[in-house]
C-alpha cells in the first residue's frame, strides 16, 4: 500500500472512530436522561402514595387545627387573567375557615403573592386579623420550614392542589410536623405542558432537600394569635 493510500485509510479510520465516539456519547446522555426521568416519575408516585392517608378533598373531613398554610402561586396566570391555581387555593382556604376548621392562616409566597392572597381571602370572608403573610416562601421547602421555625407551628393543615400538596406533606411530615392537607380544586386544563411536567423534577428536589437538610430563610419568631399579623 502506497503512502497516499495509507494516509487515506488512516483518515477514514479516524473519522469512523469519531463517529463511534459521538454515538456512544449520545447513547450515554440518552441513558442518563431516561434514568433520571424514571427516577423522577417513581419519586412523584411515592409522594402521591405517602400523602393519600392525610390528604382530603373536602374541608369538612379535615381535622380541626389552629393554622392553615396556603402555598403561594402567582395571582395572574400566563394568559393574563386570574390564575386558576391561585383562585382555587383561596377558595379551599376560605372553605376551611367557614367550616370552623382553622383559626388562622399563613399565606406563604414571594413577591406580590402574599399580599394578593391576603386580599383574596378577605374578599372571601376571612378576617384580616387572622391572616399572616410570609413573604419569604420562595419555594415549598421554605414555606413549610418557616411555618415550623418562624411561626412556631407543630401541627397544621396545608392547602394546595394535590400534585403540590403531596410534596408539601412529605416535607412537613419528614421535618416533624403533624400535617394534613386540603386538596384545592385542580384546573381542568393545565396552562402548558411545563406546568404539568414540573411536578416530576420537583418531586426529586423534595427528596434531595430532606436528604441534604436544606436551609430555609431565617427570620424573627412570630407567635400566631399573640403577635399582630404583619
* pLDDT, tens only, 122-143: 999 999 999 999 999 999 999 9
Give the CB-side neighbour count of residue 64, counting CA atoms within 13 A. 5
206: Cβ contacts below 8 Å, ≥ 6 apart: 43, 47, 140, 141, 167, 170, 171
Distance (Å, whole) CA 166 – CA 221: 27
Give pLDDT, residue 29: 67
* Crossing angle between the packed helical segments 162-174 and 140-149, to the nearest 10 degrees: 40
pTM over 0.85: no
- How many Cα atoms within 13 Å fall on the side-chain side of residue 120? 29
* Cell matching residue 12: 477514514
Phi, psi dihedrals of residue 218, rounded to the nearest 5°: -90, 165
* Alpha helical stretches, state H, the chain: 3-51, 84-98, 113-123, 140-149, 162-174, 193-197, 199-212
DSSP letter, residue 77: -
pLDDT tens digits for 189-220? 666 566 666 767 777 788 888 888 888 998 99
Return the C-alpha cell found at 171. Answer: 416535607
What are the Cα distances from residue 28, in Å, to 35, 36, 39, 103, 120?
11, 12, 16, 54, 49
Q: Nearest-CA neighbor of 119 among 71, 87, 159?
A: 87
Other CB atoms within 10 A of residue 96 CB:
22
- pLDDT tens, position by position, for the chain (230 residues)? 555 555 555 555 556 566 667 766 676 666 555 555 655 555 566 766 776 788 999 999 999 999 999 999 999 987 778 899 999 999 999 999 999 999 999 999 999 999 999 999 999 999 999 999 999 999 999 999 999 999 999 999 999 999 899 999 999 998 999 999 999 998 876 665 666 667 677 777 888 888 888 889 989 999 999 999 97
DSSP state at residue 111? T
Domains of the chain, with CATH numbers? 52-212 (3.40.50)
Amino acid at each position: 500500500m502506497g503512502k497516499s493510500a495509507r494516509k487515506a485509510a488512516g483518515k477514514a479510520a479516524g473519522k469512523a472512530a469519531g463517529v463511534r465516539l459521538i454515538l456512544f456519547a449520545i447513547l450515554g446522555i440518552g441513558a442518563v436522561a431516561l434514568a433520571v426521568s424514571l427516577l423522577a416519575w417513581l419519586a412523584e408516585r411515592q409522594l402521591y402514595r405517602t400523602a393519600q392517608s392525610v390528604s382530603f378533598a373536602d374541608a369538612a373531613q379535615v381535622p380541626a387545627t389552629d393554622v392553615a398554610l396556603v402555598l403561594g402561586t402567582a395571582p395572574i396566570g400566563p394568559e393574563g387573567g386570574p390564575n386558576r391555581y391561585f383562585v382555587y387555593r383561596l377558595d379551599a382556604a376560605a372553605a376551611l375557615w367557614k367550616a370552623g376548621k382553622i383559626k388562622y392562616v399563613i399565606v406563604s409566597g414571594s413577591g406580590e403573592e402574599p399580599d394578593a392572597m391576603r386580599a383574596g381571602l378577605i374578599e372571601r370572608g376571612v378576617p384580616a386579623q387572622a391572616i399572616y403573610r410570609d413573604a419569604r416562601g420562595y419555594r415549598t421547602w421554605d414555606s413549610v420550614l418557616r411555618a415550623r421555625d418562624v411561626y412556631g407551628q407543630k401541627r397544621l393543615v396545608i392547602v394546595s392542589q394535590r400534585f403540590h400538596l403531596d410534596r408539601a406533606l412529605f416535607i412537613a411530615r419528614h421535618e416533624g410536623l403533624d400535617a394534613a392537607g386540603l386538596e384545592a380544586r385542580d384546573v381542568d386544563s393545565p396552562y402548558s405542558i411545563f406546568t404539568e411536567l414540573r411536578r416530576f423534577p420537583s418531586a426529586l428536589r423534595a427528596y434531595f432537600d430532606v436528604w441534604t437538610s436544606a436551609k430555609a430563610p431565617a427570620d424573627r419568631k412570630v407567635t400566631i394569635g399573640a403577635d399582630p399579623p404583619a
